[in-house]
Structure 1
Amino acid sequence: MHAPYQIQGLSTLAIAQQFGLPLYVYDADRIIRQIDTFRSSFTGVNLKIKYAAKSLTNLSILKLMRMQGVDVDVVSVNEARLALMAGYSPQQIMYTPSGNAWPEIQEAISLGLRLNVDSLPLLEQIGQTYGAAVPVCLRINPSVADGGNFKIQTGHANSKFGIPNDYRDQVAAIVARYDLSVIGLHIHTGSDFKDAGTFLKGASVLFDMAADYPNLQFIDFGSGFKVAYREGDIVTDLTDLGARVSAAFQAFCQRYGRDLELWFEPGKYLVSESGHLLAQVNVVKQHPTRRFVQVDTGLNHLIRPMMYDAWHDIVNISNPEGEPTLYDVVGYICETDTFATDRMLPEVRTGDVVSFENAGAYGFSMASTYNLRERPAEVLIYAGQAHLIRQRDTFADLTRGMVDVFSDEFNRKTEEIDVLS
């Protein structure tokens, strides 16, 4: 017999019964282990980890990161507000806009966040408005293409992200024109690259550009570390990457003339494998050519399989010893809503509970209320106890903000219709 499916010794079936389904469950121990592994992979450098909040944006998750000495990277002012609620100081928050509206950027500046500038027009506007009063980091596009799904590659030449390295002279001219204070250089090549070579290609771009800016405080290499989604997956060799990047960074600092901080912004790497989306099986449906497992969740709760063709292992936690059977696992959304095709699972029965693995990153944070469905609750397993960290949406949550402009006219019209009928 397989051991009962557990997280920190707690039965997932019991957790499902306690909090209801569908349900996101996160293992704090796994997050802490990932942080420790990441930190120990880099030696001889002044390392700063900036958690990419967009991957899993929850107050308790941010507080957990803060307790582990991890800072935060945000892409919106609302993410920054949540980080401030979690106890971060503004200087611990890196704000990286991507075409964000100017009033939002001004708000970020007023909050005292560190600003990562990703375009020449924004750099010009910062210079015209603030001059040297607002220190900036420059997000550079290194024209390096690597990684998984093209949708998550951000460092290639055709990407919208960052200032192309080809514009190095224009950047330097704007900085000189307004006497801007450049304190950091940044790249982010995207997700799922597998070896240190890709990282070092981007790093060489920043190391070379650093000669233009004598007052740098840090170099930010973003993230993109690949995690395993299924057995046998190739993952980023963090030990090798850490050793090679640390050595390259030490050599750079020696050439630069002083030690700088080395920043990374992992999101998926820290939280992906901690997460499980638990769902109940509503229907097992036989077609002439397919056998469907229909669950009480869908792309509204976990969009990655439909958006990125992402693979998530699926575990039948109710019947782990069942006869292996081939299924298509689909959601309840009125749309093509497929989690898995031709997936071999222990026999699935109506009422079984299944778990979608590796659901910690870009699961709940990309969830929607499509089909007017409630978003799930979120639970964090910490120190062997299950803690509710987000309540399940209610119908009142779904309708909050709707404004009825037809109340009086609607009543009059329906009264007239009732009379006529």
Structure 2
Amino acid sequence: MQTLSGRSRAAAGGRGAPAAPRPGARRATLCRPAPAAAAAEARTHEGGVFVRMEGQPLLELAGGHRAVPLLEPTVQRVPFAMALRIIDPGAAPAQVLGAGAGSGSDDAVELHYVLGGAGSLLGAAGDSQPVGPGDSVLAAPGGATFAVDAGAGAAALVLLQLLLPGKLLRDVAAGQRSAFTDPGELGLSPEWAAPSVVKAGRLTQEMMCSLLSPEAMHSAHAEARAAAAAAAAATASLDDGDAPNNGAEVLVSPLAGGRLVRKRSLSGVRAWQLPNATNQLALLFGPHTDPGMSLTFGVEMFEPGHRTARHIHTAAFEMFIVLGGEGVGISNSDKVPLRAGDVAVFPPHVVHAIDNPSARRLYCLQMMLPNDMFAEFVTSGSLLDPLDRDDMAGIITGTC
């Protein structure tokens, strides 16, 4: 990702090359066996961190929940923690989700992205909001706890859970560049890192496919959207109809604490065409929704044949999680193949890029921490129409 002028860059010129025409037919999502030699450990390539989801440890947590750790500050030396969270149908609501609940810190910002299944976001006084594939939930620090319930449906509710250090974000928002201390001092103690958790094997490609099958994703997405439409009349929206990111953002009263929990749907969000580039970014959270928020989170789409200009960020960590398609991650002089389920993190001063040499669109979750003027750069581009049906299909059903 390229920063604004004034930030250090490793390459001059445009952000991306002209893209090949977008094919009309979409490839069916297929399960592929993991290579026999695939390593479960994170792979560090000259400064960049690359993690393949399949092969990671599968942990049994309390209440019928499971977790697959993907990033830990003290292991990968990054200023956040991330895991795949699996809530099986009929399991107790995940009370541990939420800033300060089960994270070992009352100063954690929690960000969740729903990959599969359908459930409910439970708030105070019995209020709830449906959640399904493509939904994001953000809880600010301060002890605001909430719960996610998978209900009694046929499929597990599968989320990506991110724990972000609240102090770091506040320092950056206040103009302090003290940014990244030792990862061990960030105060992030994920529930899945507790000594009491039980290891139940490793996440296989087949298991990932069963959790995130296209059929289950389509069904859950339709169910969640129908429930959201039914609840819309009783829910206050923060966006007006002409807003650039009218993604049906709603507020939910927390079970505890005074800060509201924010939920945003990907459906209806308008993407930005990045300046002088072929890639697009649908922003979900960032300074454009909350001026005091020093992070950027959204879905980035790379056209076939796209080549990102090689660049660095002087202060920010940039992370990509591949949702659908295939690409190549550039980390200094190294090139790393990327496919659905892969995670790539580029620390400050690492020359990096994401290329899409394939014939189909590449879809990734993207986060910049801190924002480092990135949202301002993105919104200086061209505002596009809301995500179309093909894009939603590629994002929602392209994970396996």
TM-score bracket for the superposition, by shorter chain length: under 0.3
**Which structure is richer in relative contact order (CA contacts within 8 A, separation 6 or more)?**
2
Larger Rg: 1
Instruction: Point out the structure with the larger helix share.
Output: 1
Instruction: Point out the structure with the larger strand share.
Output: 2
TM-score by length of 1: 0.27
TM-score by length of 2: 0.28
